[in-house]
Amino acid sequence: MKKQKYIRLLLCLVFFAKTSSYAQVMEEMWDKGTGLKEHPNVGWFKDAKFGLFIHWGLYSKLAGKWNGKNYYGSGEWIMNQAKIPAAEYAKVASTFNPVNFNADEWAQLASDAGIKYLVITAKHHEGFAMFDSKASDFNIVKATPYGKDPMKALATATAKKNIRFGFYYSQFVDWHEPNGGRNSWDFDESKKNYASYYSQKAIPQLKELLTNYGPLGIVWFDLPGGLTKEETQKLVDSLHALQPQSLFSSRVGQGLGDYKDFGDSEIPDAPVKGAWESIYTHNDSWGYIEHDLNFKSPAAIIQLLAKVASKGGNLMLNVGPDGNGRIPYHSVKYLRETGKWLKKNGEAIYGTTYGFIPQQPWGVTTAKPGKLFLHVFSRPGNGKLLVPGFSNAVKAVYALGNRQSVSWKKAGNDLELQLPAFAQDAPNTVFVVEYTGAQPGYDNKSAQIVSGQYATTVLDAHTARLSGNPKTKSFTFSHYFGDWKHETCVIDMQQKKDSISFQLRVTEPGDYRIVLEYSCGQEGFKQEGVIGFAGQQYLFRTLKTGEFEKNTPLLFIKHAVSIATVQQPGEYTLSIHPYQDGKELFKLRSVILEPVK
């Protein structure tokens, strides 16, 4: 048996390696695809921009601890991580009594945070229904001392606050059920009857959810499995029949979702049209873990929201309430801070589409008809902010916060603002440019600005032009368990002719330190490369950081290699290629230019 499994795994690996990258295979599994036809009710979702995800279940009570051992990473996977027998895990229900749960408080927090929709786990992989279910007794009303249906209360409370309500439902993975997906530590996979699990539990429960809780904005399916495309279509149709207006997430599988979901730390490189969402969790786990206090700061959330909006998507940020029904202190505090920012600046987020000016050293852009919003994360030292490639005629420029007008001038397609003074550490200060004419298309060809007015300019791997073997590739890995990260790198620079380049526009001459940010394994390190920039060549030799493995951090070094002197402002190409033919030089994540002060 063991040997067989091993052989199967090997065959799989060979197959994966041959057909596509591992990340791609995982992407297929998580399924980001949607149908060709756009759902007619997708408008509210596209405008919403900010959602709250809540993972809450029996795992919240365990809080990342089992039998005296601490677990890290996705806390809602503790049953799987500790291989807890289903019968033993089920006993946790008898201790689950979230007396501090208050639906109105949660809805109030969501409202204060500026959230437009809320999606909560009705049933996660553990198989426990957090709602009143006739289809399975393993539910919060029947199996816990709490004995009430918190989902009912939350459906009512969110409706009162005009927040769209939705359920996460793990349709295939169910570790409690002998016929459910993916519990192989209790139940023999070969004896499973998925069809019976679907007809006995998943489908009846989904029907309960779509019948008993009023209109649902979203049904957030997760991890498809055990169904053919035809069967998935039947499932989707029978559920859509109950609530045609409800949107189904792409992880319903087989490309049959109504909008696309990306993973954590995954924002597409270029704007994506249509309805989509990036999901992030506030700390490192989706479900509550008592010892996970690695929360993203308010500034990080505010910038993340703007970055996702600048590509045209929504951010759904997750919090994990504890077993008593309390949302962690830092989540409450930082969400309210985010809400304060949104109260002043919401116009630059809600109802916007992607910005047509690509990322700049100062920040990102979002747009509405006739308006471009400049989200300034880094104030230029001299206050002169350049918006390159702005061809439309400008009507007015002002600060969003106080509507104070901002002086500007235009030289060709260069729009230059003279910014007022504002705090250096303000996370995102928004300026509005009102213009005439049709909204321009996204400009993906312009040179990237390099200026001494910013501490750094980061040239991301995906903006490189490739010649010869090099490709860009997204690497997916976790630190602990299930906390997936995605990093896009340039790979396969092996021979002298394999070169990459960045188109730059240096607005201020001077000395710039060149820093290469890369990951490099045992095989490739100590190889030499050549950087060409502004008529000079700069040699470097690679350092070892470590190998790429799916379940360890992919380590990057910021390797300062040279100082380049630029004599004249103007357009330049920065190129990199191996010094000699050899092994892959490195996995390059970015090139960073820092003015030397």
Binding stretches for ligand JFZ (CB under 6 A) = 30, 74, 76-77, 222-223, 263-264, 266, 279, 286, 482, 484
Pick the closer one to ligand JFZ by CB: 287 or 388. Answer: 287
Please tell me the distance from the alpha carbon of residue 138 to that of residue 143, in angstroms, as a whole number: 6
Pick the closer one to ligand JFZ by CB: 66 or 77. Answer: 77
Smallest gap, in angstroms, from Cβ of residue 301 to ligand JFZ? 17
Pairing of strands 363-368, 371-376: antiparallel
Smallest gap, in angstroms, from Cβ of residue 483 to ligand JFZ? 8
Smallest gap, in angstroms, from Cβ of residue 545 to ligand JFZ? 23
Total count of residues recorded for the chain: 597
Q: With 0-12 CB in 10 A as exposed, 13-18 as middle and 19+ as buried, what is 265?
A: middle
SS3 content of the chain, % helix, strand, coil (to 5): 25, 30, 45
Smallest gap, in angstroms, from Cβ of residue 354 to ligand JFZ? 21
CB-closest chain residue to ligand JFZ = 263
Smallest gap, in angstroms, from Cβ of residue 261 to ligand JFZ? 8
Please tell me the distance from the alpha carbon of residue 97 to that of residue 75, in angstroms, as a whole number: 19
* Cβ-based neighbour number of residue 547 at 10 Å: 13
Pick the closer one to ligand JFZ by CB: 284 or 584. Answer: 284
3-class secondary structure per residue, 194-230? HHHHHHHHHHHHHHHHHHHCCCCCEEEEECCCCCCHH
CA distances from 478 to 386, 485, 489 (A): 38, 6, 16
Pick the closer one to ligand JFZ by CB: 92 or 464. Answer: 92
Pick the closer one to ligand JFZ by CB: 82 or 426. Answer: 82
Smallest gap, in angstroms, from Cβ of residue 484 to ligand JFZ? 4
Q: Return the half-sphere exposure (C-beta side, CA atoms, 13 A cut-off) of residue 6.
A: 3
User: Which of helix, strand or coil describes residue 560?
Assistant: strand
| Exposure string over 138-155, b if 16+ CB within 10 A, otherwise e | bbbbebbebeebbbbbbb
Q: Terminal CA-to-CA distance of the chain, rounded, Å?
A: 64
Smallest gap, in angstroms, from Cβ of residue 200 to ligand JFZ? 22
Smallest gap, in angstroms, from Cβ of residue 262 to ligand JFZ? 7
CB 504 within 8 A of CB 571: yes
Please tell me the distance from the alpha carbon of residue 2 to that of residue 260, in angstroms, as a whole number: 37
Pick the closer one to ligand JFZ by CB: 250 or 365. Answer: 250
Pick the closer one to ligand JFZ by CB: 149 or 264. Answer: 264
Torsion of CA 92, 95, 100, 104, to 10 degrees: 50
CA distances from 41 to 159, 218, 246 (A): 18, 11, 8
Pick the closer one to ligand JFZ by CB: 138 or 484. Answer: 484
Smallest gap, in angstroms, from Cβ of residue 462 to ligand JFZ? 18
Please tell me the distance from the alpha carbon of residue 104 to that of residue 81, in angstroms, as a whole number: 34
Smallest gap, in angstroms, from Cβ of residue 318 to ligand JFZ? 7
Amino acid at the residue 272: V
Pick the closer one to ligand JFZ by CB: 56 or 484. Answer: 484
Pick the closer one to ligand JFZ by CB: 125 or 375. Answer: 125
Q: With 0-12 CB in 10 A as exposed, 13-18 as middle and 19+ as buried, what is 543?
A: middle
Pick the closer one to ligand JFZ by CB: 260 or 371. Answer: 260
Smallest gap, in angstroms, from Cβ of residue 509 to ligand JFZ? 42
Smallest gap, in angstroms, from Cβ of residue 260 to ligand JFZ? 11
Please tell me the distance from the alpha carbon of residue 201 to that of residue 179, in angstroms, as a whole number: 10
Pick the closer one to ligand JFZ by CB: 197 or 484. Answer: 484
Copy the structure tokens of residue 47: 């405008």
Place of tokens 């229900």: 93
